[in-house]
Structure 1
Amino acid sequence: MDSRTFVVLGIFFCLSILAKDLPVAEALWGGLYPNESPSREIKTLDGVWNFRRAPRLDPDQGFREEWYNQPLKKSGSVIPMAVPSSYNDITQDKSLREHIGWVWYDRMFVVPSRWQEDNLRVFLRLGSAHYHAIIYLNGLEIASHEGGHLPIRAEITNFLLYGQENLVTVALNNILTPQTIPQGKIVYHNESDGYPNNYFIQTYDFDFFNYAGIHRPVVLYTTPQTYIEDILINTDIDGADGIITYNLTTSSVLSNLHGTRATECVIEVLDKLGEPVANTTGCSGTIRVANANFWWPYMMAAQPGYLYTLWISINDGTGRWDSYPEKVGIRTVGLNSTNLSINDVPIYIRGLGKHEDSDVSL
């Protein structure tokens, strides 16, 4: 063991002893999608992680032996695992593909001392992890989440070792029950039938494979102390003009309250070429975009999926700004007993495809 590893493990041990005196990490909703801006920075944790599955007949071994308190490779064998991915399809191991129960991921990472010196808030975000995830940082549980299809986010500002190595560990369970989405059921077999004690299988009625793993990107991102927490946007059409109605929610540790209002909010609308077409001030309000390009589905316009960018900036009253870019398509959606319409034009739906990576499907 080299001296640096010894020091890091010593710090982990001290943190675990003092955990009761540390603030508890708050598991948050998934938040705005991480976008870089003049006030925000992103560090990806995607790549090759260490991976181990818990024994099928002893699923709680990792918790009992506290695998999260040190790198997994120090408590047993590990294999490399791509993140994001479904672990079922990465190897040629049939038993791993069909594994039921807990698996464990971990990796080391470093954050710059500058983040602490600049008084930034730091968040950890997993785009999704199927199905039940428990996340540890330096041996401390910082978040847990059930539901394999939504982001998991926690503020980790006070739990990081700045300028040093940090250990993030994710325990992940893919078991489906009648209460999960999708539903499944665990069926136990008896020893009298020739099965090992506590042997079980996963059953379900849907027609797709129960893929599991860390399925979406894992990132760290920073914000100022007062930052844009949420943006609510609605659009309408008035003749040739587009109407964008917005409402901002901010979060600040300055008042220790969520939902506080920033001192100043500035909104600028840019077209697809990055040219400004409208602007306003205020943390809620309405913007009129003259002669707007409306959002249309594929094959209903020469430029389907046209998106504007709202550059949203807030000032916390001390002169420090947070800014965030948000894409928006100007459109209306109508529904009556016979038709679904986009921008008052009936649309015939030939199929359904929605993915956040495509402008056309937004």
Structure 2
Amino acid sequence: MKTTKHLLFVFLSILCSQSAIGQDLLTHAYGRDTYSLNGEWQYIVDPYETGFYDYRFKEKHEKDPGAYWNPGIPKDKSSLIEHSYSDKNTLNVPGDWNSQDRLFLYYEGTVWYKKSFDYQKKKESNRLFLYFGAVNYQAEVYLNGKKLGSHKGGFTPFQFEISSEILKEKDNFVVVKVDNKRHKDEVPTVNTDWWNYGGITRDVMLVETPAVFVEDYFIDLDAPTATLKSKTKKAKAKGWVKLNGAKAGETVTVEIPELKVKQSIKYTGEATAFSLDLPKVELWSDVNPKRYEVVISAANDQLSDLIGFRQIEVSGKDILLNGKPIFLRGICMHEEIATEVRRANSEADALKLLGWAKELNCNFVRLAHYPHNEHIVRAADSLGILLWSEIPVYWTIDFGNPEVLKKAKTQLEEMITRDRNRPSIIIWSVGNETPVSETRTEFMKELVMRTRELDDSRLVSAALEVHYNKDKNTIDDPLGAYTDIVSVNEYLGWYIGLPSYCETAEWETIYDKPLVFSETGAGAKGGFHADSLTRWSEEYQEWLYEEQVKMMKRMPDNYTGLMPWILVDFRSPKRNNPVYQEGWNRKGLIDNEGNKKKAFYVLQKYYKEIEEKTR
């Protein structure tokens, strides 16, 4: 049998070009010397973008007192200023604006944020960066009236360096123009089945570094599958390190204290490879999420992180974790706290959502339909939950537009750069339910290829669609020829017939690859009870899950995972039934009040059975 191996950092292709190691993103921001700018920010709602454009709709001059990146303070009583920031109007950061005031419930447009702060660097020669976990969707960032830069993409981090000429010890103010309007040529596009939460939705901080610092790194296991056991006496690791501000010849030290491993190398001026000999290493897995501290030092900088050593690969029809077949007992999840109708943004939020997944007996979560915040990914590392991470190439983006492809690649690179050292992520996804055409397939193929250039250590997939027919449902999406696994969304019993339709449903795929069902489900209003034929009742959803489970038990032998849609009800303006939906997608196994529906226990039982068989 031919085996396709995906060692956890096949790094030679990554080293071939500077762009192959990301967009110069300062990684592992939480492990550095930081100063939080979270908290209350003043704001101005600006639906006409008056603060950005003049009356001829041209961008205002930097020193224009009427520009909203300036504080709006009159020089004297005769000055004409038509904007002002006030403590009467504040929004919490991190947080979406929609959940903080009914004024913003359905608002999509521009809001200006302003935060004042004092800051003195610990050392004059140090460097300072303004770091954002994410802003949805387009951010224009200013400090003390000077533009630092802009960023597009609502779910990935970015930062700007602050020069000493701009920073003051007292009375600094940062202003961010946030625009979450949807456009046809953006990623995602105008049509999505989730709410477009606007705002500075993730942490904001100042990050102080020495003049020379560790910007990025990658390290993981390098061992043939045949040698993998729960512990290995001798193992090897490979990786690379990238410095910022360093010249060739700088000494870099990589250390894993618990394993008493320490290696020094000479920096080459670009991403520099290294290898380590490791004694008796415990492998990270869903049942043993063992992590090791890794310390990377260069000049006056030291970066510490927690990593796990593990391998994920495909062998024939199986997905292998550390050389052993694994079944993905999964669930899909949005980055949303439904009980408070807001974006999830904290470690506590992450533990709440992933705790529900653990209670469901899941070992796998699909992070839909965009990269989730870093708290969720790191919590999954600690809990032993495997992850699917996805960029928002969703439904009907403009596949024929080269600029859209460029934007998708940028988001892909930012996602991978941030999380390539997170052992929980085993699948990078390049999109969801994209309609089949030659143009679309070429677009998606480009993303698959780019993913492998950036990180060939994980599996690559996308949520595909199915050709339904009466006799047999066929999986033949041409994109499946390029992905490592075949992942399909199916809704038999909800959009296709009644749940009884599953009783005789047969499946086939033209690909000799592992098959996972990346979505299935039915809507139910929590607390609404009726007979099983009544749509929107918990009983209908329960019946569908019962029939789905029976159907899954008849699947071909390449069936290796299931991730129903979805863990919790979530807000969506596409769902407008005034009785049962009210602006919510009701396919959650937990309702928006935090109550578990009857179908939750059907899936929980099924996963328990699988867990007991595979242990």
TM-score range, shorter-chain basis? 0.7 to 0.9
Of residues 35, 40, 43, the one that matches 1:48 is 40
Describe how 1:259-298 pairs up with structure 2 within 5 A: 260-261=247-248, 263-270=250-257, 275-283=258-266, 284-297=273-286
Distance 1:262 1:123, change over 3 A: farther
Secondary structure, aligned partner of 2:280: coil
1:110 Cα offset (Å): 0.9
Distance 1:296 1:150, change over 3 A: same
Name 1:109's counterpart in structure 2. Answer: 117
Normalized per residue, the structure richer in strand is: 1
In the aligned structure 2, how far is the partner of 1:276 from the partner of 1:313? 17
Deviations 1:183-239 (Å, cap 9, x if unpaired)?
10xxxxxxxxxxxxxxxxxxx2x2211111111100101111111121122322355
Describe how 1:214-293 pairs up with structure 2 within 5 A: 214-237=200-223, 238-239=227-228, 240=232, 241-252=234-245, 260-261=247-248, 263-270=250-257, 275-283=258-266, 284-293=273-282
1:59 Cα offset (Å): 2.6
Instruction: Say whether the 8 Å CA contact 1:29–1:151 is kept in structure 2.
Output: no
Instruction: Say whether the 8 Å CA contact 2:235–2:281 is kept in structure 1.
Output: yes
Distance 1:208 1:82, change over 3 A: same
1:176 Cα offset (Å): 1.3
Name 1:196's counterpart in structure 2. Answer: none
In the aligned structure 2, how far is the partner of 1:309 from the partner of 1:162? 36
Distance 1:72 1:342, change over 3 A: farther
In the aligned structure 2, how far is the partner of 1:66 from the partner of 1:123? 24
Once the two structures are overlaid, the 10-residue window that deviates more, 220-229 or 233-242, is: 233-242
1:262 Cα offset (Å): 5.0
Name 1:308's counterpart in structure 2. Answer: 292
Asked if 1:327 is matched to 2:306, the reply is: yes
Deviations 1:10-50 (Å, cap 9, x if unpaired)?
xxxxxxxxxxxxxxxxxx643212144xxx52101000100
Instruction: Say whether the 8 Å CA contact 2:178–2:199 is kept in structure 1.
Output: yes
What percentage of residue pairs aligned between the two structures are identical?
23
Normalized per residue, the structure richer in helix is: 2
In the aligned structure 2, how far is the partner of 1:350 from the partner of 1:158? 51
Instruction: Determine which structure has greater relative contact order: mean sequence separation of CA pairs < 8 Å that are 6+ residues apart, divided by chain length.
Output: 1
Of residues 27, 32, 38, the one that matches 1:32 is 27
Q: TM-score with structure 2 length normalisation? A: 0.44
1:158 Cα offset (Å): 2.9
Name 1:59's counterpart in structure 2. Answer: 49
Describe how 1:55-134 pairs up with structure 2 within 5 A: 56=47, 58-64=48-54, 65-70=66-71, 75-76=83-84, 78=86, 79-93=89-103, 96-112=104-120, 114-116=122-124, 119-134=125-140
1:250 Cα offset (Å): 1.0
Instruction: Say whether the 8 Å CA contact 1:105–1:170 is kept in structure 2.
Output: yes
Q: TM-score with structure 1 length normalisation? A: 0.73
1:335 Cα offset (Å): 0.9
1:350 Cα offset (Å): 1.6
Instruction: Say whether the 8 Å CA contact 1:104–1:171 is kept in structure 2.
Output: yes
Specify the code of the residue in structure 2 equivalent to 1:278. V
1:72 Cα offset (Å): 8.3
Secondary structure, aligned partner of 2:222: strand
Name 1:23's counterpart in structure 2. Answer: none
Instruction: Say whether the 8 Å CA contact 1:50–1:81 is kept in structure 2.
Output: yes
In the aligned structure 1, how far is the partner of 2:165 from the partner of 2:108? 32
* Structure 2 gap segments, 5+ residues each: 1-22, 55-65, 75-80, 267-272, 331-363, 368-375, 386-423, 425-615
Instruction: Say whether the 8 Å CA contact 1:128–1:152 is kept in structure 2.
Output: yes
Of residues 165, 169, 177, the one that matches 2:171 is 165
Distance 1:113 1:48, change over 3 A: same
- RMSD of aligned alpha carbons: 2.2
Instruction: Say whether the 8 Å CA contact 1:296–1:306 is kept in structure 2.
Output: yes
In the aligned structure 1, how far is the partner of 2:264 from the partner of 2:166? 36
In the aligned structure 1, how far is the partner of 2:73 from the partner of 2:139? 17
1:326 Cα offset (Å): 2.5
In the aligned structure 1, how far is the partner of 2:34 from the partner of 2:249? 23
